[in-house]
């Protein structure tokens, strides 16, 4: 028999060789842990559709933050879940310095300081009685420009609570420019903006809506993107960068790896991707059935997101994945 002169398998022969030539490697510092803080809780509360994820009390939030920092996680993205009595048509609890989100940001800063990056979700959907990401016009549609003024004030409130980064996720036209100007006018020039630039109106958000106790009626297709569109995503990204975004995000991640790759080619700011609740829940459900290797799939999915071009990854596995990566490398 004749054999090939080129033998790529030589570099796969041992674990050490495979590690040596691995092309895509995730660092714990590239992972961001989303956290949910529920108003009024004294103990963490399980989220049934997100196994292993909880709504935190203020005390358990601090503990989770310390665990993430110890694992080397690069950031924490906080979502506030107010009591239903504190929701209204304009989401005013999101601006309240004593509202649950801003209280949580202060708690995180008090607990971890600059040891990791503390981020606040800048959106109204958790705080509005109707569940939309902005205020409504008389005809029931989301009023883009009226919402922008609130977003600017919300960004300043989070910065004053101590957030290192604000994450506008509402997909309103012009939101990044308005928030950037509001932050700068208030003396918060050093607070960064992570823009949810390409956020798709897909079917992967169900468990998240349980986590934040969403009251949404209808859908968000008039402001989030159609799953079939890539050129539109690139246009949104370019607009956000022009308005002052320090980082841009694609959400969800796995169904949009091609979009992540296209965005990476288009811009020179860091690109983030959010591995959303439905992506996480599918893996957890299949693993519970014994159908897949849970940890293997966890790291493989994150590797695919990194390989596509994301430098920063939001994932509910952030702490666990960081611990596994530190053991591996």
1 pLDDT band, cuts 50/70/90, is low
What CA–CA distance (Å, rounded) separates 120 from 118?
A: 7
18 pLDDT band, cuts 50/70/90, is very high
| DSSP string across 149-165 | HHHHHHHHHHHHHT-SE
| DSSP string across 81-129 | E--GGG-BTT-GGGT-TTSHHHHHHHHHHHHHTTSSEEEEEE-STTTBS
What CA–CA distance (Å, rounded) separates 231 from 79?
A: 30
Task: For residue 199, indicate whether it is catalytic.
Answer: yes
Cα 139 to its chain centre, rounded Å, is 31
Mean pLDDT of 256-265: 98
Which run of H or E residues covers position 196? Answer: strand 192-199
Return the percent helix, strand and coil in the chain, to nearest 5: 45, 15, 40
Closest CA to 304 of 83, 11, 26: 26
Mean pLDDT of 12-27: 95
Q: How many CB atoms lie within 10 A of CB 143?
A: 15
CA torsion angle 270 276 279 282 (round to 10)? 160
Mean per-residue pLDDT of the chain: 96
278 pLDDT band, cuts 50/70/90, is very high
CATH architecture of 25-328: Alpha-Beta Barrel (3.20)
329 pLDDT band, cuts 50/70/90, is confident
> Model's pTM, two decimal places?
0.96
The structure tokens 């599918």 sit at 282
Query: What's the confidence (pLDDT) of residue 328?
Result: 86
Cis ω before 7 (30° cut-off from 0):
no
Largest Cα–Cα distance in the chain?
79
186-244 pLDDT, tens digit per residue, is 999 999 999 999 999 999 999 998 999 998 887 899 999 999 999 999 999 999 999 99
Task: Return the SS3 of 319.
Answer: helix
| DSSP string across 251-291 | ESSGGGHHHHHHHHHH-SS-EEEE--HHHHHHHHHHHHTTS
Among the listed residues 38, 87, 181, 251, the single catalytic one is: 251
HSE, side-chain direction, 13 A CA sphere, residue 326:
16
Query: What's the confidence (pLDDT) of residue 6?
Result: 87
Q: Is 327 exposed, middle or buried (0-12, 13-18, 19+ CB in 10 A)?
A: exposed
Query: What's the confidence (pLDDT) of residue 237?
Result: 98
Query: What's the confidence (pLDDT) of residue 216?
Result: 85
30 pLDDT band, cuts 50/70/90, is very high
Provide the token pair at 307: 């390989």
What CA–CA distance (Å, rounded) separates 175 from 195?
A: 9
Task: For residue 289, indicate whether it is catalytic.
Answer: no
Closest CA to 251 of 90, 121, 74: 121
**Residues forming a β-bridge with 120:** 78, 166
What CA–CA distance (Å, rounded) separates 311 from 300?
A: 16
Closest CA to 151 of 130, 131, 176: 176
Least confident of 183-187, 214-218, 261-265: 214-218
Which run of H or E residues covers position 304? Answer: helix 294-308
Q: Residue 301: phi, psi to the nearest 5?
A: -65, -40
- Torsion-angle region of residue 286: left (phi > 0), alpha (psi -120 to 50) or beta? alpha
Checking if the pLDDT of 39 tops 70, the result is yes
Among the listed residues 38, 87, 199, 306, the single catalytic one is: 199
47 pLDDT band, cuts 50/70/90, is very high
């Amino acid at each position: 028999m004749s054999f090939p002169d080129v033998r790529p398998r030589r570099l796969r022969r041992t674990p050490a060789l495979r590690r040596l030539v691995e092309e895509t490697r995730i660092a714990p510092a590239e992972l961001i842990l989303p956290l949910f803080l529920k108003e009024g809780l004294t103990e963490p509360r399980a989220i049934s559709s997100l196994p292993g994820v909880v709504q935190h009390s203020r005390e358990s939030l601090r503990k989770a933050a310390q665990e993430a920092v110890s694992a080397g996680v690069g950031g924490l993205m906080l979502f506030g879940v107010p009591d239903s009595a504190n929701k209204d048509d304009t989401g005013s609890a999101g601006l309240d310095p004593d509202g649950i989100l801003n209280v949580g940001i202060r708690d995180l800063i008090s607990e971890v300081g600059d040891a990791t990056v503390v981020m606040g979700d800048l959106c109204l959907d958790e705080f509005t009685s109707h569940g939309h990401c902005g205020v409504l016009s008389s005809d029931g549609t989301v009023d883009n420009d009226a919402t922008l003024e609130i977003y600017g004030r919300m960004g300043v409130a989070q910065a004053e609570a101590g957030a290192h980064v604000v994450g506008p996720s509402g997909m309103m036209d012009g939101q990044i420019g308005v928030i950037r100007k509001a932050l700068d006018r208030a003396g918060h020039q050093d607070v960064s903006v992570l823009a949810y630039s390409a956020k798709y109106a897909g079917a992967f958000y169900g468990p998240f809506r349980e986590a934040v106790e969403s009251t949404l009626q209808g859908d968000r297709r008039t402001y989030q993107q159609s799953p079939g569109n890539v050129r539109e995503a690139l246009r949104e990204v370019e607009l956000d960068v022009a308005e002052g975004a320090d980082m841009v995000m694609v959400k969800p991640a796995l169904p949009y790896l091609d979009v992540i790759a296209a965005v990476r080619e288009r811009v020179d700011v860091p690109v983030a991707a959010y591995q959303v609740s439905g992506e996480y829940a599918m893996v957890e459900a299949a693993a519970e059935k014994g159908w897949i290797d849970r940890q293997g799939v966890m790291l493989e999915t994150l590797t695919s997101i990194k390989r596509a071009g994301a430098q920063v990854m939001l994932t509910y596995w952030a702490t666990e994945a960081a611990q596994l990566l530190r053991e591996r490398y």
